[in-house]
């Protein structure tokens, strides 16, 4: 075995992965350990959890969320006073979500984790498919399918987390997702929003469960590799609406730059962390009231979901 193929950490086993941004060559065992310790380090760096937290993990069934569930389940064993619960949101996307639901349920069963499923249909009265179809013919369509999905999912998760008494919600946003979101906000001209999208959200309203992102410093590629080595079952079909998103173009662009300049994603992420305090000072603190319709946190008279549901109903009436 040549020196170049020996693991940089254990110096014994054969390396199978080269980490371009650190120059390390890692064997499978050391790679898995390094991902798990990085998650642990991120949790303590941003003070994401308390020893007795009841944590709801948002599990879509994709590789990122299922891997996060596995890692958190492992970490949780060391904290007997904490507990985990998994929440899956069924947006109602035909041919896509059905398989993911089964995978999410199978992983929870394997890990012995309580699993709750909530659907757009039961909460909002329509599936994402129905909503998108109605708004497609609407000239005044305000958002992309993913934006509708994101707004509704956020509320569904928050309601579900409160229902199961969780103190926090963990989502599987990776370093890639975080950096894409930063650029997306810049591309949308919504730069101050960057201040609000952070590893741990602030406690801004009693009804808004705080969110944590334990994967925010793990590249997506490494999460995939982790899932592959640990033989974790996940859904690999891509959502039919995914290709519409500007996020996709940003992802391709960032991956191309990262390939030529290793570490650029970390540089962007860390740059924002460095100026976050200043950003927060400029960002006028949004005072959240409560929606007149549903009583959930809202910055306007009606929360965004109630606005969307109302517009959908109106449009449905006109088109019938």
CB of 301 to Zn ion, least distance (A): 9
Q: How many chain residues bind ligand SF4 (CB under 6 A)?
A: 8
Instruction: Identify any residues that bridge with 210 across adjacent strands, giving them in sequence order.
Output: 168
Distance CA 196, CA 285 (A): 10
Query: How far apart (Å, rounded) are the C-alpha atoms in residues 32 and 231?
Result: 12
Query: In DSSP terms, which residues pair with 17 in a beta bridge?
Result: 26
User: How far is residue 188's CA from residue 108's CA, in Å, rounded to a whole number?
Assistant: 37
What letter would DSSP give residue 1? -
42, 88, 127, 145: which one binds ligand SF4 (CB under 6 A): 145
**Structure token digits, residue 77:** 């064993």
Tell me, rounded to whole angstroms, the distance of Cα 319 from its chain centroid: 35
Quick one: tokens of 225?
Answer: 């590799």
DSSP bridge pairs for 85:
56, 114
Nearer to ligand SF4, 16 or 143 (CB): 143
Q: Which is nearer to Zn ion, 40 or 315 (CB)?
A: 315
Which token pair is 230? 């640990």
Position 146 contacts ligand SF4 (CB under 6 A): yes
What is the bridge-based pairing of β-strands 54-58 and 24-26? unpaired
- Nearest CA-CA partner of 251 in 319, 182, 159: 182
Query: Counting contacts by CB under 5 A, is residue 156 touching Zn ion?
Result: no
Q: Are the C-beta atoms of residues 39 and 150 closer than 8 Å to each other? A: no
95: contact with ligand SF4 by CB under 6 A: no
241 binds ligand SF4 (CB under 6 A): yes
CA distance 161 to 56: 6
Q: Is 179 in the site for Zn ion (CB under 5 A)?
A: no
Residues of this chain, 287-306, that bind Zn ion according to CB under 5 A: 291, 293-294, 303, 306
Q: Does 101 bind ligand SF4 (CB under 6 A)?
A: no
Q: Is the dihedral of CA 110, 116, 121, 122 positive or negative?
A: positive
Quick note: the x/- pattern for ligand SF4 over 176-215, rule CB under 6 A, is ----------------------------------------
What's the min distance (Å) between Cβ of 245 and Zn ion?
25
User: What is the widest separation between alpha-carbon atoms in the chain?
Assistant: 72
Q: Does 239 bind ligand SF4 (CB under 6 A)?
A: yes
By a kind-dependent CB cut-off of 5 to 8 A, residue 291 interacts, out of Zn ion, ligand SF4, none, with Zn ion
- SS3 state at 231: coil
Give the x/- contact pattern for ligand SF4 in 278-317, rule: CB under 6 A. ----------------------------------------
Q: How far is the CB of 198 from ligand SF4 (least distance, A)?
A: 20
Stretch that binds ligand SF4, among 38-46, 185-193, 221-229, 239-247 (CB under 6 A): 239-247
Indicate which of ligand SF4, Zn ion, none lies near residue 275 (CB less than 5 to 8 Å, by partner kind).
none
**Sole window of 33-41, 55-63, 98-106, 284-292 interacting with Zn ion (rule: CB under 5 A):** 284-292
Check residue 150 for interaction with ligand SF4 (CB under 6 A).
Answer: yes
Among 89, 118, 149, 268, binds ligand SF4 (CB under 6 A): 149
HSE of 316, CA atoms in CB hemisphere, 13 A: 12
Six-digit token string for 146: 């993913």
Q: Which residues bind ligand SF4 (CB under 6 A)?
A: 91, 145-146, 149-150, 239, 241-242
């Amino acid at each position: 075995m040549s020196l170049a193929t020996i693991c940089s950490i254990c110096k014994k086993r054969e390396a199978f992965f080269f980490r371009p941004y650190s120059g390390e060559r890692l064997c499978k065992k050391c790679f898995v350990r390094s991902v798990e310790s990085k998650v642990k380090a991120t949790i303590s760096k941003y003070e994401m959890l308390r020893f007795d937290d009841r944590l709801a993990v948002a599990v879509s069934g994709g590789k990122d969320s299922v891997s996060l569930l596995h890692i958190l389940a492992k970490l949780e064993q060391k904290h007997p006073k904490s507990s985990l619960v998994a929440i899956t949101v069924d947006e109602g996307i035909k041919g896509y979500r059905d398989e993911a639901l089964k995978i999410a349920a199978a992983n929870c069963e394997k890990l012995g984790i309580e699993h709750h499923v909530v659907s757009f249909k039961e909460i909002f009265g329509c599936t994402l498919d129905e909503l998108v179809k109605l708004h497609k013919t609407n000239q005044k369509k305000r958002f992309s399918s993913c934006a509708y999905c994101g707004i509704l999912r956020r509320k569904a998760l928050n309601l579900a987390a409160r229902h199961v008494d969780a103190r926090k919600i963990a989502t599987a946003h990776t370093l890639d997702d975080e950096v894409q979101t930063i650029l997306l906000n810049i591309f949308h001209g919504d730069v101050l929003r960057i201040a609000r999208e952070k590893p741990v959200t602030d406690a801004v309203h009693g009804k808004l469960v705080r969110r944590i992102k334990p994967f925010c410093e793990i590249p997506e590629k490494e999460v995939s590799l982790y899932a592959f080595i640990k033989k974790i079952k996940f859904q690999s079909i891509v959502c039919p609406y995914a290709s519409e998103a500007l996020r996709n173009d940003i992802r391709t662009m960032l991956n191309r730059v990262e390939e030529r300049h290793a570490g650029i994603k970390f540089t962007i992420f860390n740059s924002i962390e460095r100026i976050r305090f200043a950003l927060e000072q400029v960002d006028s603190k949004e005072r959240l009231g409560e929606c007149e319709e549903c009583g959930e946190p809202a910055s306007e008279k009606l929360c965004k979901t109630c606005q969307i549901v109302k517009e959908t109903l109106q449009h449905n009436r006109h088109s019938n």
